[in-house]
């Protein structure tokens, strides 16, 4: 009887430790996020593996294009410049087409990432409402509604992040037009200004991730309404977000570097082989290099997807901690 009571007590304590709406420091957010993700990894995997495959395939296509086709066309252009001091229109057209294909595949990879994260978000939403995560009842149990919100939220957040950089480029274009060769005459200053400006934008963009998680967890609210209501609360807890994201991203990047190493090696080998063509060396790459690269990048990105989802769970607990602290703040201000 005592043993049974002890087991129940430990189980209840574990559930209490994993509660969402609880004020936490950054260490507690990191530890609790890791605990929830690792203890429920099989459930997360079963719920999301189908969409994760689509994400990996899109990344495989993107990685193959940048690792195989882009160096091939770049080398051809470089050879023409060395031989004729000019570039053919056909080569420029091919380069433009490859650039457009890369852009489209990047958008596809972002879209499939949002869709693949939706089943995991669905399980996190279940955890928020019930305090537990159950195994998916069907082989495909993702919520179409949540997938749509995830897709919309990710693209709107990406758009907000992109706008400041577009404004910077437009400002530089205007300056370069008004004052001829402004960028070339102040190249170092322009580069430093771009990095400083980019750093400021990135730092002030951190609360957007709280806005995105709140938008995904609280279905009735629209994205722009959530942005207007929640950006300030995210900004108030900027320090918590920065510390959690910094440590989490650091650990994820270390693991992801190891996971993605085979694809990086293949990409580097192909680039070196094409650079050798400029000095008269044979290509020296097997005929199946394209297939090998696609399979390798796809498998690496599939594993990397589940490594990166740790950050999603950490953002989930950041959201819970901020909500709990905001409730405490409101209770103090409005007793």
pLDDT in tens, 269-313: 887 776 666 566 566 677 788 889 899 999 999 999 999 999 999
**pLDDT confidence bin for 87, thresholds 50/70/90:** low
Instruction: Indicate the SS3 state at residue 189.
Output: helix
pLDDT in tens, 218-276: 877 889 999 988 899 889 999 999 999 999 999 999 999 999 999 988 888 887 776 66
Considering only residues 213 and 4, tell me which one the structure prediction assigns the higher pLDDT: 213
Extract the tokens encoding 246.
Answer: 């910094």
Is there a domain that residue 194 lies in?
yes
What does the pLDDT read at residue 5?
40
Alpha helices in the chain (DSSP H): 2-17, 26-39, 41-64, 70-84, 89-130, 144-178, 182-185, 187-217, 223-236, 238-259, 261-277, 289-333
How many other C-beta atoms lie within 10 A of the C-beta of residue 9?
A: 10
In angstroms, the CA 241 to CA 212 distance is 13
pLDDT in tens, 144-201: 888 999 999 999 999 998 888 888 888 777 776 777 666 666 677 778 888 888 888 8
The answer on pLDDT for 1 being more than 60 is no
What does the pLDDT read at residue 283?
61
Is there a domain that residue 69 lies in?
yes
Is there a domain that residue 136 lies in?
no
The helix or strand, by DSSP H or E, that contains position 280, with its residue range, turns out to be none
Burial class (CB in 10 A: 0-12, 13-18, 19+), 269: middle
Is there a domain that residue 221 lies in?
yes
What does the pLDDT read at residue 150?
92
* String of DSSP letters for 194-254: HHHHHHHHHHHHHHHHHHHHHHHHSTTS-HHHHHHHHHHHHHHTHHHHHHHHHHHHHHHHH
- Mean pLDDT across the chain, nearest whole number? 83
CB 233 within 8 A of CB 210: yes
Is there a domain that residue 302 lies in?
yes
Extract the tokens encoding 143.
Answer: 């919520």
* String of DSSP letters for 89-110: HHHHHHHHHHHHHHHHHHHHHH
Map tokens 């091919």 to a residue.
94
Map tokens 């995997």 to a residue.
45
What does the pLDDT read at residue 172?
76
Considering only residues 218 and 91, tell me which one the structure prediction assigns the higher pLDDT: 218
Is there a domain that residue 249 lies in?
yes
Domain span including residue 224? 27-127+142-333
Map tokens 């495959």 to a residue.
53
Least confident stretch, 25-34, 92-101, 106-115, 194-203? 92-101
Helix 89-130 × helix 41-64 angle, to 10°: 170
Residues near 112 by Cβ (< 8 Å), separated by ≥ 6? 51, 54, 55, 57, 58
Rounded (5°) CA angle 68-95-158: 85
Map tokens 């901690």 to a residue.
321
Residues near 111 by Cβ (< 8 Å), separated by ≥ 6? 151, 154, 155
Number of domains in the chain: 1
Map tokens 């709406």 to a residue.
21
The answer on pLDDT for 11 being more than 70 is no
Extract the tokens encoding 267.
Answer: 């990409």
Considering only residues 245 and 16, tell me which one the structure prediction assigns the higher pLDDT: 245
Is there a domain that residue 18 lies in?
no
In angstroms, the CA 226 to CA 210 distance is 10
CB 317 within 8 A of CB 33: yes
Is there a domain that residue 15 lies in?
no
How many Å is the Cα radius of gyration of the chain? 24
Compute the average pLDDT of residues 118-129.
Answer: 91
What does the pLDDT read at residue 69?
77
What does the pLDDT read at residue 76?
64
CB 135 within 8 A of CB 48: no
Half-sphere exposure of 335 (CA within 13 A, CB side): 1
Extract the tokens encoding 265.
Answer: 């090696």
Q: Cite the beta strand spans of 67-142 per DSSP E.
A: none
What does the pLDDT read at residue 9?
38
pLDDT in tens, 315-328: 999 999 999 888 88
In angstroms, the CA 274 to CA 268 distance is 10
């Amino acid at each position: 009887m005592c043993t049974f009571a002890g087991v129940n007590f430990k189980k209840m304590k574990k559930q209490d430790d994993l509660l969402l709406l609880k004020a936490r420091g950054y260490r507690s957010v990191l530890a609790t996020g890791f605990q929830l993700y690792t203890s429920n990894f099989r459930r997360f995997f079963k719920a999301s593996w189908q969409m994760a495959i689509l994400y990996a395939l899109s990344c495989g296509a993107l990685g193959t294009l940048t690792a195989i086709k882009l160096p091939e066309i770049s080398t051809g252009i470089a050879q023409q410049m060395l031989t004729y001091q000019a570039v053919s229109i056909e080569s420029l057209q091919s380069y433009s087409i490859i650039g457009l294909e890369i852009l489209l595949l990047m958008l596809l990879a972002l879209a499939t990432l949002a869709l693949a994260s939706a089943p995991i978000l669905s399980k996190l939403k279940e955890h928020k409402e019930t305090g537990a995560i159950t195994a998916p009842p069907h082989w495909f149990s993702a919520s179409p509604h949540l997938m749509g919100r995830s897709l919309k939220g990710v693209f709107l957040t990406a758009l907000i992040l992109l706008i400041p950089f577009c404004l910077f480029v437009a400002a530089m274009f205007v300056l370069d037009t008004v004052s001829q060769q402004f960028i070339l005459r102040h190249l170092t200053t322009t580069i430093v200004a771009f990095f400083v400006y980019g750093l400021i934008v990135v730092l002030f963009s951190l609360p957007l991730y709280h806005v995105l998680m709140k938008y995904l967890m609280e279905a009735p609210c629209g994205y722009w309404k959530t942005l207007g209501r929640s950006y300030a609360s995210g900004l108030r807890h900027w320090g918590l977000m920065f510390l959690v994201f910094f440590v989490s991203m650091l650990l994820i990047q270390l693991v992801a570097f190891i996971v993605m190493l085979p694809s990086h090696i293949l990409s580097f080998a192909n680039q070196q082989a094409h650079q050798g063509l400029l000095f008269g060396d044979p290509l020296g790459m097997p005929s199946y290099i394209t297939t090998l690269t696609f399979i390798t990048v796809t498998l690496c990105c599939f594993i990397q997807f589940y490594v990166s989802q740790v950050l999603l769970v950490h953002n989930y607990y950041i959201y819970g901690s901020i909500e709990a602290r905001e409730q405490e703040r409101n209770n103090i201000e409005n007793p």
